[in-house]
Structure 1
């Protein structure tokens, strides 16, 4: 796939689009089942684990950037994959936003004092048994990061303009448990964004940029 990048995608415009649209948490859930009808369903008796991720859009002039993490190879779930910072919602977390901010601080050391949460996407149901609550945010520049080496190998940034260009949204497939499963994929240089993370990016595009 040829990588393309559009121009003029700012964090302030992202914030405006999200706030103008309103919060969509009550809308129909999204997830892996969108590309795999009948394979992954939220109401099939499987008890889903609640999780929250933060989509951190850095407010950095005319071309906002989004923070991603490269998970360590030793994690039990989604090891070695690219993801947004986040994790399980604990009993003491009053809201998904609080869980996403806490997990982000624990994983990459991004202080919540730099983060403005602006909305939330509908739940994303994963084929691995998670109900993920994606929290949308704008991040003020000037922050420092400290990675948790047991969870995160690396942090990198991708221009929002690249992520919101449908020309960069491919579809891939792999055999999982004897069946072909389909997913979105968005290669960025040597990085391979795919699966749940790419699915969430695609949801942002469809909701706010079409």
Structure 2
């Protein structure tokens, strides 16, 4: 269950985002493609992954017709080292596909507004609780008027424990965003999370079925949102 990947405070409170979805599980070809994109710099791969991401986003049943799309920002150190942000490349590719397949959908990429205000240590190898603490207060919104009252689609490459999605969503909600929708190419399986974090750490040093990670949509009678893992 997804709850087993979360620290106790995360299990006891609803997430600050409305819904989180991913195209597939972080393994096999999907994992290989993400590694080639992130660590080998094969940026054209983002176009193909963007198609998969767009298909998953468009399958969200209550997706708003107007969206501000934002990519999870990299630290300045990583951005300089890679010379690109893989989340931003994925967001741009997904928007192109979304516009072709659903012309009535108004989605625009907003960059330079969501940023990191302090350096954080690598998330790789940290426990869920440590990841959450590591990112607390790390993100900020530079222009609140650009997002206040809007529906924001937050894009990243991998949803591991949800710490990054939560931290970004909290910053956006504090800036007045109406709802945050999170979409990633891949998500970690419970039994593979620790191996995945170690694998990402090693990589820094040197198409699966669609799943829904978290559904925080209130029930019709005003009940609490529900969590779903989409486990296979």
TM range (shorter): under 0.3
| Bigger share in helix | 2
After TM superposition, the score normalised by the length of structure 2 is: 0.26
Question: Structure 1 length normalisation: TM-score?
Answer: 0.28
